[in-house]
């Protein structure tokens, strides 16, 4: 049965209207009758049935839900519940009323350096929290960054993996294809290497580059190309940070801790007080938030 606005899931969640569609399904606005609140529900509905193993899709959905459910942080969308009805999996999540970074930058052309630094600081706090829990995102991009004016929220752990998932080998799933969004995939992953924290950080850097430039960074094969790229950019105080994050060699790439320290310094220079970045999800949002 196709989902419609009258459908009630789990005798609790009533679907209201679709919020967005992607290759793996539909995200719905729904109402939780038990707690009297609106939520977002991802309905896993593969668009290419003939090319996908239904059991593989369900395993991926369970992996997404379990990965995200491990995380509790204001910069990460919260997962509330997981249901299976009508032969589909439904992931119940916090509803975040927001624009994406992609839509915001497209509307404005590009974001100022100080806005981008503020977005980057809070986004990185959520990403480091995920990494500390053993979760890799693998698809960080402007369309997965939600901006409410007070919060920066990383969404869609749809291709997330657990570094220490017992079902994987020591180097990740042997048959996992390279998945992600063109322009935001780390060079080593395009070369066939597994996802790592460093690869997430490259995608994070590419997302910040998009924020200040309005376009993703072009492919660059070496460190000299990165320096040439940054010399022509509008990144200003973010230049050294982006150079470090966009290093093609993951061994030379900035760590999450070093990137956090650089972003804190940039924000303090801009007169924005930021608390120490904590990985337990507490005390991360400062009163110096920029209104967008």
Query: CB-side exposure of 200: number of CA atoms within 13 Å?
Result: 28
Give the residue from 180, 187, 174, 166 showing the smallest Cα distance to 138: 180
Residue 274 lies in a domain: no
Structural domains of the chain, count: 2
Which among 49, 64, 94 is the end of a domain? Answer: 94
Q: What is the mean pLDDT of residues 43-70?
A: 67
| CA 241 – CA 250 distance, rounded (Å) | 14
Residue 179 lies in a domain: yes
For the cut 70, the answer to whether the pLDDT of residue 216 exceeds it is yes
Question: What pLDDT does residue 228 have?
Answer: 76
C-beta neighbour count of 87 within 10 angstroms: 8
- Examine the domain organization and report whether 18 and 162 are in the same domain: no
- What average pLDDT is seen over the chain? 82
- Examine the domain organization and report whether 129 and 172 are in the same domain: yes
Q: Helix or strand or coil: residue 10?
A: coil
Q: Where are the alpha helices (DSSP H) in 232-289?
A: 239-245, 256-269
Q: Domain limits at 22? A: 8-94
Instruction: Provide the CATH number for the domain around residue 18.
Output: 3.30.200.20
Question: What pLDDT does residue 288 have?
Answer: 47
* Residues of the chain above pLDDT 90, percent: 49
Q: Is 32 a catalytic residue?
A: no
Give the residue from 184, 259, 252 showing the smallest Cα distance to 222: 252
Is 141 annotated as belonging to a binding site? no
Which among 94, 116, 150 is the end of a domain? Answer: 94
Residue 1 lies in a domain: no
Q: Helix or strand or coil: residue 274?
A: coil
For the cut 50, the answer to whether the pLDDT of residue 233 exceeds it is yes
Would you say 248 and 221 are in contact if contact means Cβ atoms under 8 Å apart? yes
For residue 264 the two structure tokens come to 């804190």
For the cut 90, the answer to whether the pLDDT of residue 53 exceeds it is no
- Examine the domain organization and report whether 24 and 86 are in the same domain: yes
| CA 272 – CA 122 distance, rounded (Å) | 13
Would you say 291 and 111 are in contact if contact means Cβ atoms under 8 Å apart? no
Residue 156 lies in a domain: yes
- Examine the domain organization and report whether 46 and 171 are in the same domain: no
Q: Tokens 């924000």 belong to which residue?
A: 267
Would you say 145 and 119 are in contact if contact means Cβ atoms under 8 Å apart? yes
Give the residue from 272, 289, 56, 267 showing the smallest Cα distance to 175: 56
Distance of CA 266 to the CA centre of its chain: 22
* Residues of the chain above pLDDT 70, percent: 76
Choose the most confident range, by mean pLDDT, from 44-48, 143-147, 216-220. 143-147
Residue 247 lies in a domain: yes
Residue 45 lies in a domain: yes
Question: What pLDDT does residue 166 have?
Answer: 46
Distances (CA, A) of 3 to 172, 177, 258: 35, 30, 46
Q: What is the mean pLDDT of residues 146-171?
A: 72
Distances (CA, A) of 155 to 2, 73, 114, 116, 204: 25, 12, 22, 18, 13
Of 32, 81, 139, 249, the catalytic one is: 139
For residue 108 the two structure tokens come to 């404005």
14: which DSSP letter?
E
- Examine the domain organization and report whether 189 and 172 are in the same domain: yes
Question: pLDDT tens across 241-262, in order?
Answer: 999 999 999 999 999 999 999 9
- Examine the domain organization and report whether 126 and 20 are in the same domain: no
Instruction: Provide the CATH number for the domain around residue 243.
Output: 1.10.510.10
Question: What pLDDT does residue 172 have?
Answer: 45
For the cut 80, the answer to whether the pLDDT of residue 229 exceeds it is no
Tell me the Cα Rg of the chain: 19
Residue 292 lies in a domain: no
Q: For residue 290, what are the β-bridge partners?
A: none
- Examine the domain organization and report whether 233 and 195 are in the same domain: yes
- Examine the domain organization and report whether 110 and 241 are in the same domain: yes
36 or 47: whose pLDDT is higher? 36
Would you say 239 and 233 are in contact if contact means Cβ atoms under 8 Å apart? yes
Would you say 133 and 200 are in contact if contact means Cβ atoms under 8 Å apart? no
Q: Give the chain's length.
A: 292
- Examine the domain organization and report whether 131 and 216 are in the same domain: yes
- Examine the domain organization and report whether 13 and 81 are in the same domain: yes
- Examine the domain organization and report whether 239 and 140 are in the same domain: yes
Question: pLDDT tens across 85-131, in order?
Answer: 877 888 899 999 999 999 999 999 999 999 999 999 999 999 999 99
Which among 94, 120, 152 is the end of a domain? Answer: 94
- Examine the domain organization and report whether 64 and 117 are in the same domain: no
Crossing angle of helices 101-108 and 197-213, in 10° steps, is: 30
Q: Helix or strand or coil: residue 74?
A: coil
Residue 277 lies in a domain: no
């Amino acid at each position: 049965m196709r989902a419609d606005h009258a459908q009630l899931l789990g005798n609790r969640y009533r679907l209201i209207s679709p919020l967005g569609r992607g290759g793996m399904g539909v995200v719905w606005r729904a109402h939780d009758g038990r707690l009297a609140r609106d939520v977002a529900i991802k309905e896993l509905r593969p668009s290419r049935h003939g090319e996908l193993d239904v059991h593989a899709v369900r395993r991926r959905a369970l992996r997404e839900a379990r990965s995200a459910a491990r995380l509790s942080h204001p910069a990460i969308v919260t997962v509330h519940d997981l249901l299976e009805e009508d032969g589909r999996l439904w992931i119940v999540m916090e509803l975040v009323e927001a624009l994406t970074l992609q839509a915001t930058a497209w509307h404005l052309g590009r974001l100022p350096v100080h806005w981008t630094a503020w977005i980057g600081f809070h986004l990185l706090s959520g990403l480091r929290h995920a990494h500390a829990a053993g979760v890799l995102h693998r698809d960080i991009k402007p369309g997965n960054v939600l901006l409410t004016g007070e919060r920066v929220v990383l969404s869609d752990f749809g291709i997330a993996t657990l570094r220490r998932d017992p079902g994987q080998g020591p180097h990740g799933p042997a048959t996992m294809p390279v998945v992600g969004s063109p322009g935001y995939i780390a060079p080593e992953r395009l070369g066939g290497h597994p996802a790592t924290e460093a690869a997430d950080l490259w995608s994070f850097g590419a997302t910040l580059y998009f924020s200040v430039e309005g376009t993703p960074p072009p492919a660059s094969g070496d460190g000299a190309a990165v320096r040439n790229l940054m010399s022509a950019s509008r990144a200003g105080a973010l230049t050294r940070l982006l150079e470090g994050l966009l290093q093609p060699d993951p061994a030379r790439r900035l760590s999450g801790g070093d990137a956090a320290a650089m972003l804190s310094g940039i924000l303090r220079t801009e007169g924005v007080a930021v608390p120490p970045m904590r990985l337990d999800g507490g005390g991360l949002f400062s009163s110096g938030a920029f209104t967008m």
